[in-house]
Structure 1
Amino acid sequence: MDFSQDVILENNRVLLRPLAATDFEILQSVAFEPELWQYTLTRADDRISLAAYIAAAMHGRDLQQRYPFLIIDKDTDRVAGSTSYYNINAEEARLSIGYTWVGTDFQRTGLNRAAKYLLFRHAFEALACERVELETDSHNQKSRDAMRRMGATEEGVLRSHRYTQGGRRRDTVIFSVIKPEWNVLRQGAFREFDNRESA
């Protein structure tokens, strides 16, 4: 993956563009909802923590460890949140999708699924990945259900895997999609977005 390139992914439902430091002001309209951050490793629900979140995301890109995107809802022309590629391993042809959050106004509207479609498609078809991973806190049932609905396979639980907010050790649930499954998923769980591609 070329981290110096500005990757823009788009269909009729959502636009993903590289996150920028200048997005601080517009992200405040959706980030300052405490419930969004209940199960995340860090929080971004006030000005200080949001600035730190954006700085960490940009630093991850500089280190070629993370590629953060801004999520824009094309139905309303509003900023909805952020998501990232990370754990990018070109030699092993795999990466992870995560650091994903969208404001409550955009949840259960199909926006997250539209964004995931673009990220999966780019990973498998442009970056030649063989495997895409997703992970979540074992307590985050909403996230686990969303991953299952997208057709990702739950592979197991990494016990006491990472420190999270307040110093708690969380159990992490790992999901994945592998390349042979992609064509089935794009014609199934992601069919509405695959058929609505922008030219």
Structure 2
Amino acid sequence: MPLDFTQNLVLENSRVRLRPLETADFEELKAIAFDPAIWQFTITRADDALSLAAYVTAAEQARQAGQRYPFVIIDRASGRLAGSTSYYTIDLDNQKLSIGYTWMGTDFQRTGLNRAAKHLLLGYAFDQLGCERVELETDSRNHKSQTAMRRMGATEEGTLRSHRVLQDGYRRDTVIFSILRPEWHELRRTTFAEYNV
């Protein structure tokens, strides 16, 4: 099934709700985005009003162009916006896509919210979009992100050297992880079992 970029896709489980990122989210995102530490290893940054507005605009434009599907992450316990994540590099002819552009406010990090969001995104990618492969990538210096990817069962495939330019001009090495369809069936039963209600 193709990904319909015009559809307002909403995904939720017991812990988190994902819905499309909208311009109207700007004010609530301001409350969590203005921490420079969140953006240390990211390609773009949104730690002030101007850069956050540019981030939201770019995300919406990428969705309209069929290049990226950005979501806001909502903590169901509090009802608060916790951050954002996206599908991107969507290549359904080859049954694969990437999950990334993920960031969360400091209060929501290490709470299990990210794993709950990944459960929804992986499930939709494999079960509804027919993916055989989902990729995740991170800065080689971002050990916290790499640890999180390993903990959720993704396989580290290697490092792409001098792969992406960050907002400060630094050329980062990118570590690539992946999950394949047969692996997802096992991870759903084990690593993500708490969300399979």
TM-score (norm 1): 0.97
Aligned partner of 2:129 among 116, 121, 127: 127
Paired residue for 2:59?
Answer: 57
1:155 aligns with 157
- Corresponding letter in the other structure for 1:110: G
2:136 counterpart letter in structure 1 = L
Q: Secondary structure at the match of 2:41?
A: coil
Q: CA deviation at 1:152?
A: 0.2
Q: Which one of the candidate residues 86, 111, 129 is aligned to 1:109?
A: 111
**C-alpha distance after superposition, 1:91-145 (max 9, x if no partner):** 1010000000011111111100000000000000000001000000000000000
Q: 1:165: Cα distance to partner?
A: 2.5
The equivalent position to 1:45 in structure 2, one of 47, 72, 83, is 47
Q: Name the counterpart of 2:69.
A: 67
What are the ranges of 5 or more consecutive residues in structure 2 without an aligned counterpart? none
Partner of 1:91, secondary structure, is helix
| Equivalent runs, 1:17-56 vs 2, <5 Å | 17-56=19-58
Identical positions, percent = 64
Q: Which residue of 2 aligns with 1:144?
A: 146
The letter of the residue matching 1:80 is A
Give the 3-state SS of the residue equivalent to 2:74 in structure 1: strand
TM-score by length of 2: 0.98
Residue correspondence of structure 1 range 72-83 to structure 2 within 5 A: 72-83=74-85
After TM superposition, what 4+ stretches of structure 1 lie above 4 angstroms from structure 2?
Answer: none
- Cα distance in 2, alignment partners of residues 149 and 90 from structure 1: 26
